[in-house]
Amino acid sequence: MSGGQFEFEVVGSRRRTPRVVEIDLRLPEGRPFSYIPGQFVTLHLPDGSDELRRSYSIAVPPREDKTIALAVGEVPSGRATRILFGVRPGDRLRASGPFGRFILREDETLPRLYLVGTGTGIAPYRTMLPGIERFLARDPERRRVSVLLGVRSPEERLYGDEFRAFAAAHPGFTFLSCQSRSLSDPPEADERRGYVQKVLAELAPDPAESVVYLCGNPGMIDEATELLKSRGFPLVNIRREKYVSSN
């Protein structure tokens, strides 16, 4: 199905945080939608006489009921935002995909993964959780995975409860919520103040044993890439997915 065009049916939608709507989609007649965790779909949205093409990471691991979910962040005055924040069950959305190579390599030779995302840029890592579990189980003594989420405040912590539960159940996994504007009162153990790239710098990943994934805000990705390069990371060990509009 890679690259093909088709129509999704909206089967549900809900606010996940004050500025993120999660939309459940499925193909007609219960057909399965195959994808690799970390991939995205491109929606073809009617906008007057135009067609907007906007891409969204798939935000759930494959589900038994064959639905997928997208986490759509609110962009002020955004054209796709306006359409997607108003969808209702039964609506149809034209789409193509799945696309992308921002995927977890479970056979990674380096033992330490840092998965960094801002806002909805955390969605691919949620989809990767079963793969992260397998990655850790193959060499529990050496392998470690950290997810760093960048948001402004505690209420924007998209999927935070799920990452916390995963961290509690998997000793090799840590979750840090990096908040640029405010912390909880009192601060929780996994909260850090400041931008996610600042917290990443403080963690000082070792280029000899680490691979870093960066997803979301293009400015964060550029800054984090410069930081990692200056600390000796080869580009091949910096995997990137920039969230930018295509037209």
Ligand X SMILES: Cc1cc2nc3c(=O)[nH]c(=O)nc-3n(C[C@H](O)[C@H](O)[C@H](O)COP(=O)(O)OP(=O)(O)OC[C@H]3O[C@@H](n4cnc5c(N)ncnc54)[C@H](O)[C@@H]3O)c2cc1C
Judged by the rule CB under 6 A, the positions of this chain that interact with ligand X are 40, 52, 54-57, 71-73, 75, 77-81, 120, 123, 241, 243-245
Cα–Cα distance for residue pair 30/26, rounded to 1 Å: 7
Q: Select 81 or 225, whichever has its Cβ closest to ligand X.
A: 81
Element (H, E) at 147: strand 144-151
Residue nearest to ligand X as judged by C-beta position? 78
How far from 18 is each of 141, 157, 165, 203, CA to CA, in Å? 39, 10, 22, 29
Smallest gap from Cβ 189 to ligand X, in A, equals: 28
Bond preceding residue 186 cis, omega within 30 of 0 = yes
Q: Which two tokens stand for residue 21?
A: 């709507």
Cα–Cα distance for residue pair 3/98, rounded to 1 Å: 6
Q: Select 112 or 241, whichever has its Cβ closest to ligand X.
A: 241
Q: Select 4 or 30, whichever has its Cβ closest to ligand X.
A: 4
How far from 159 is each of 29, 77, 95, 220, 245, CA to CA, in Å? 29, 25, 25, 20, 23
Among 163, 144, 136, residue whose Cα is nearest residue 206 = 144
Smallest gap from Cβ 95 to ligand X, in A, equals: 12
Smallest gap from Cβ 40 to ligand X, in A, equals: 4
Q: Tell which phi-psi region holds residue 178, choosing left (phi > 0), alpha (psi between -120 and 50) or beta.
A: beta
Q: Select 45 or 178, whichever has its Cβ closest to ligand X.
A: 45
Q: Which two tokens stand for residue 147?
A: 């997810």
Smallest gap from Cβ 181 to ligand X, in A, equals: 16
Smallest gap from Cβ 1 to ligand X, in A, equals: 17
Cα–Cα distance for residue pair 95/247, rounded to 1 Å: 16
Q: Select 68 or 136, whichever has its Cβ closest to ligand X.
A: 68
Smallest gap from Cβ 121 to ligand X, in A, equals: 7
Q: Select 87 or 136, whichever has its Cβ closest to ligand X.
A: 87
